[in-house]
Structure 1
Amino acid sequence: MSRTLIRNASILSMDPAVGDFAQADILIEGDRIAAIGPGLNAAADEVVDGTHRIVMPGMVNAHIHTWEFQLRGIGADWVGSRDYHANLHKKLATYYTARDVYLGNLLGALNQLRNGTTTIVDWCHILRDAEMTDAAIDALEESGIRAVFARGTVKPPEREGAVPYYKQPFPRDEIHRLRTGRLATDDGLVTLAMAILGPDWGEYDVAVHDIRLAREYGLFNSAHTYGRKGKRVVEDGYPRLAREGLLGPDHNIGHGNCFDDTELKIVLDAGCTITATNLTEMLNYEQPAMLGRLVKHGATPSLGTDCDPYFNSSMLWVMRHAFLHQRELDNRSLHAEGKWPASTQHSTLTRDAIYWATMGGAKAFGLDGKTGSLAPGKQADLIMIDTRGMNIFPAHAGGNPAHIVVMYAETSDIENVMVAGRFVKRDGRLVFDAGRLARVTDELLASRLRLFQEGSFKSVPVERGPQPGRFLV
């Protein structure tokens, strides 16, 4: 079993039992953390210099539609979910092949690793058949990322004589095939969940069927909430599910920001988790992201990047904006109550944002025993941030590490990324065959241009893309 020793690093463990260290070592044996502490007396096959580096858990992106990667840069000026669904689900997605899904998932996952995310919840709602499903999983496995593969279903345009998507129960055969086949256990890097319609996007009987199917196979299930009253497929869907005992800690809610206080209490009392995609909420919703409201109820937010067509899917971005967004709401509340400026420490701190971006996502999908923090016995999912570059300098000299990570660090400062004890980014570059990376990059660009052509998508000019081999360095 190989042993790697990281020496003399500043450590943000995000585990209160372990604590943080201004300077300490981390010993990794195989895929797990063996020890953390100052001056570890341990032999190792490789010693990594942690001087002037911050080591912290890899981030957990708890909600991303990875397949959308080749559609980046087209949606920020759209009018909310109306244009999103019209352009993606009802148009471009209908031209996706299994190979397109594979390419989006592979380069999308590699981009997450490059940005310091070691775990994603791949909310894959483009899948029409087993071939597309397997292509998505193939890509995740090849990338080396830890992933919860949330197998979803398509939302195509309604056609005369066809059953609309919101009336269609989740395909049992697919879940049985995956759960008795390649994703039969929860021990691998890629594990299975269900991305279901839920009562906001599907009829009530469909939601009941899907949740019961997930329970039958021991799977987490996650649903989007449209949020606005009067726009949901089932107006009282979540209260009804709660009354029937169908909600629990195995049910995750994406967004949730339009829940009123009564609805929020119902789903939290049932044990559900909520993932904020706060950049999307800022862009498209009339209500703020579900962050501080969760904390007030004693719940832990989790964070996700959501949609690549809108913005850079970096969890550093999401974490920073979550902190700033909630601080803005805190400040305005204090002012409205005549308590401005705050007489004591602010209620939202930079460390809170890191916790949401690491342990929050891990807890939401039952991964907190494996990842989300640095502790002996846990999987070695970690990132090393070099604090000597101009993004951070001179904050590295005595600055607060949590403050540095949230408010200064960028992708270029993430020097090393490790998943299950294996480096997937080293010395600032992905550990992925350069020739293969160039080939799939070219193929993805061709995929993008073909999708635009076949989908008659002309809302933005189609320009020549990056030069071969220049992507993701």
Structure 2
Amino acid sequence: MTRTLIQHAHILSMDPDVGDFDDADILIEDGRIAAVAPKLSVADAEVIDGRGRIVTPGLVNAHIHTWEYQLRGIGSDWVGSRDYHANMHQNLATRYGVRDVYLGNLLGSLNQMRNGTTTIVDWCHILRDAEMTDVAIDALEESGIRAVFARGTVKPPERPGEVPYHKKPFPREEIHRLRTGRLASDDRLVTLAMAILGPDWGEYEVAAHDIRLAREYGLINSAHTYGRKGKRVVEDGYPRLAKEGLLGPDHNIGHGNCFDEQELKIVLDAGCTITATNLTEMLNYEQPAMLGRLIRHGAMPSLGTDCDPYFNSSMLAVTRHAFLHQRELDNRSLWHAGQWPAKTQHSTLTRDALYWATMGGAKAFGLDKKTGSITPGKQADLVMFDCRGMNIFPALPGGNAAHIVVMYAETSDIENVLVAGEFVKRNGKLTFNEQRLAALQQELLASRMRMFEEGQFVSRPVQRGPQPEEFFI
């Protein structure tokens, strides 16, 4: 049995039954949390000094297109989905080969762990065939991250004589191959889900087929749902799916900003979860991120970073902005209601945002029995923040620990990251082989430049997509 003992740490467990501690220990045995308490006495354990550190559960990135990693920084002046789809799905995504998918997923996953994320939902909609699928999984496994591999499908340009993507049901043979083979078990670091078109992006019969297929194989399915009326493939898609009993806790919705109150109530009453990618939504959407509206309905938000071409996919940044975005909306609501300044504590706190970024994501994808909190029996997915550096010092003694993590901490303050008890970042550095990482970075850079050349892509001036009335959605 291998034992690791983190001593004298400030612990934010995110579990009300465990509680928080100003000075306590965490015992890890064979990758699982064995005990959380002050002054644990353990023989034959590797001891990690937790003094001056805050320990939290690993962050859960509930929506990321990891394959886009090598296309970072190109979306600076894009306008909404119009330019994103023109440049990505209609152009650069078509240039990806098998090795490109592998490189994006591997380096993208390593970057997530460097930033304190221990679990990702890899919404992988670049996959044209089984070979691409397998290398995407290879990369996740090699990185050491915990991942829900949401196997998706491509959205290529429409060509004469070909069936357009929005009419294509999910390939049954691929789900059968994965679910009866490599990803048959849910008791592993990389597990399977389905990234489906849903009724905003696919025809109704396609959406219904895909959800039924996911249920047949016991999988969570997730759909992008922009929700703007007049731009959906199926205008009444979600109400129809609800009437047929096809919605439930096994259906996750990405975005959903433009749902009206009746539509939102329908999907939440059915038990669906909704993941906010608030940075994308602040950048490109006409409606606020789906945070406060979920809370008012008694639902739990989860958070995701979404698209690397727009911004650094750090869950610390997403969590901070989620809190600030919702606090701004709350402040404005109070002002318009004549209740400013607030007479009582605000309804949204930094601790809430940290919960969305940990347990919120874990619950959305059925991982809350494994991760999301520092609870005995769960996997030891942990982040240790060193609060002695200038970013944070001297906030920790007497400061609110959750507020410190959300509002002060940066990647440079993350000292250690553990996934299932294994160090993936230690003493501020990834444990991944440095020489191999350097070689992979050079290969990924060559991949990026080759795709730019093949796609005749330049980031400035911006390559515009069709105007909104011409664009499919």
Q: What TM-score results when the alignment is normalised by the length of structure 2? A: 0.97
Question: Which residue does the alignment assign to 1:171?
Answer: 171
Map 1:253-264 onto structure 2 (within 5 A).
Answer: 253-264=253-264
Question: Which residue does the alignment assign to 1:467?
Answer: none
Question: Which residue does the alignment assign to 1:470?
Answer: none
Question: Which residue does the alignment assign to 1:378?
Answer: 378
Q: C-alpha distance in 1, partners of 2:149/2:91?
A: 24
Q: C-alpha distance in 2, partners of 1:44/1:253?
A: 46
1:393, distance to aligned residue in structure 2 (A): 1.1
1:306, distance to aligned residue in structure 2 (A): 0.1
Q: C-alpha distance in 2, partners of 1:304/1:176?
A: 28
Are the counterparts in 1 of residues 416 and 428 from structure 2 also a CA contact under 8 Å? yes
1:109, distance to aligned residue in structure 2 (A): 0.2
AA in 2 matched with 1:449: M
Question: Which residue does the alignment assign to 2:108?
Answer: 108
Are the counterparts in 2 of residues 5 and 44 from structure 1 also a CA contact under 8 Å? no
Are the counterparts in 1 of residues 59 and 372 from structure 2 also a CA contact under 8 Å? yes
Instruction: State the SS of the aligned residue for 1:158.
Output: coil
Q: C-alpha distance in 2, partners of 1:273/1:156?
A: 28
**In the alignment, structure 1 residue 83 sits paired with structure 2 residue 83:** yes
Question: Which residue does the alignment assign to 2:270?
Answer: 270
Question: Which residue does the alignment assign to 1:246?
Answer: 246
Instruction: State the SS of the aligned residue for 1:93.
Output: helix
Are the counterparts in 1 of residues 62 and 275 from structure 2 also a CA contact under 8 Å? yes
AA in 1 matched with 2:147: A
1:41, distance to aligned residue in structure 2 (A): 1.3
Equivalent pairs, count: 461
Question: Which residue does the alignment assign to 2:468?
Answer: none
Q: Which runs of 5+ in 1 are unaligned?
A: 462-473
1:316, distance to aligned residue in structure 2 (A): 0.2
Map 1:36-435 onto structure 2 (within 5 A).
Answer: 36-435=36-435
Are the counterparts in 2 of residues 12 and 19 from structure 1 also a CA contact under 8 Å? yes
Are the counterparts in 2 of residues 125 and 152 from structure 1 also a CA contact under 8 Å? yes
Q: C-alpha distance in 2, partners of 1:46/1:179?
A: 38
Q: C-alpha distance in 1, partners of 2:230/2:460?
A: 32
Map 1:17-28 onto structure 2 (within 5 A).
Answer: 17-28=17-28
Q: Which moved more, 1:133-142 or 1:391-400?
A: 391-400
Q: Which moved more, 1:379-388 or 1:396-405?
A: 396-405
Instruction: State the SS of the aligned residue for 2:88.
Output: helix
Q: C-alpha distance in 1, partners of 2:176/2:76?
A: 38
AA in 1 matched with 2:310: Y
Instruction: State the SS of the aligned residue for 2:118.
Output: strand
1:394, distance to aligned residue in structure 2 (A): 1.2
Instruction: State the SS of the aligned residue for 1:89.
Output: coil
Q: Write out per-residue CA displacement over residues 248-267 of structure 1, whole angstroms, 9 at most, x where no aligned residue.
A: 00000000111000000000
1:460, distance to aligned residue in structure 2 (A): 3.7
Are the counterparts in 2 of residues 31 and 379 from structure 1 also a CA contact under 8 Å? yes
Are the counterparts in 2 of residues 370 and 378 from structure 1 also a CA contact under 8 Å? yes
Are the counterparts in 1 of residues 354 and 406 from structure 2 also a CA contact under 8 Å? yes
Q: C-alpha distance in 2, partners of 1:155/1:397?
A: 51
Q: C-alpha distance in 2, partners of 1:282/1:121?
A: 21
Q: Write out per-residue CA displacement over residues 53-96 of structure 1, whole angstroms, 9 at most, x where no aligned residue.
A: 00000000000000000000000310111100000000000010
Q: C-alpha distance in 2, partners of 1:7/1:376?
A: 16
Question: Which residue does the alignment assign to 1:465?
Answer: none
Are the counterparts in 2 of residues 220 and 251 from structure 1 also a CA contact under 8 Å? yes
Question: Which residue does the alignment assign to 1:11?
Answer: 11
Q: C-alpha distance in 2, partners of 1:196/1:218?
A: 15
Question: Which residue does the alignment assign to 1:471?
Answer: none
Question: Which residue does the alignment assign to 1:466?
Answer: none
Instruction: State the SS of the aligned residue for 2:63.
Output: strand
Q: Write out per-residue CA displacement over residues 103-138 of structure 1, whole angstroms, 9 at most, x where no aligned residue.
A: 000000000000000000000001000000001000
Are the counterparts in 1 of residues 226 and 257 from structure 2 also a CA contact under 8 Å? no
Instruction: State the SS of the aligned residue for 2:69.
Output: helix
1:44, distance to aligned residue in structure 2 (A): 3.5
Q: What TM-score results when the alignment is normalised by the length of structure 1? A: 0.97
1:276, distance to aligned residue in structure 2 (A): 0.1
Q: C-alpha distance in 2, partners of 1:273/1:347?
A: 21
Instruction: State the SS of the aligned residue for 2:373.
Output: coil
Identity of aligned residues (%): 82
Q: C-alpha distance in 2, partners of 1:152/1:451?
A: 21
Q: C-alpha distance in 1, partners of 2:430/2:183?
A: 26
1:397, distance to aligned residue in structure 2 (A): 2.2
Q: C-alpha distance in 2, partners of 1:91/1:294?
A: 35
Q: C-alpha distance in 2, partners of 1:222/1:113?
A: 23
Instruction: State the SS of the aligned residue for 2:147.
Output: strand
Q: Write out per-residue CA displacement over residues 358-387 of structure 1, whole angstroms, 9 at most, x where no aligned residue.
A: 000000000000000001000000000000
Q: C-alpha distance in 1, partners of 2:434/2:185?
A: 32
Moved over 2 A (4+): none
Q: C-alpha distance in 1, partners of 2:58/2:24?
A: 18
Q: Write out per-residue CA displacement over residues 390-419 of structure 1, whole angstroms, 9 at most, x where no aligned residue.
A: 111111221110110000000000000000
Q: C-alpha distance in 2, partners of 1:7/1:175?
A: 44
Q: C-alpha distance in 1, partners of 2:457/2:299?
A: 42
Q: C-alpha distance in 2, partners of 1:147/1:132?
A: 17
Give RMSD over aligned pairs: 0.7
Q: C-alpha distance in 1, partners of 2:251/2:240?
A: 14
Q: Which runs of 5+ in 2 are unaligned?
A: 462-473
Q: Which moved more, 1:396-405 or 1:6-15?
A: 396-405
Q: C-alpha distance in 2, partners of 1:415/1:451?
A: 35
1:458, distance to aligned residue in structure 2 (A): 1.5
Q: Write out per-residue CA displacement over residues 430-466 of structure 1, whole angstroms, 9 at most, x where no aligned residue.
A: 00011110111110000000000001101249xxxxx
Q: C-alpha distance in 1, partners of 2:44/2:337?
A: 57
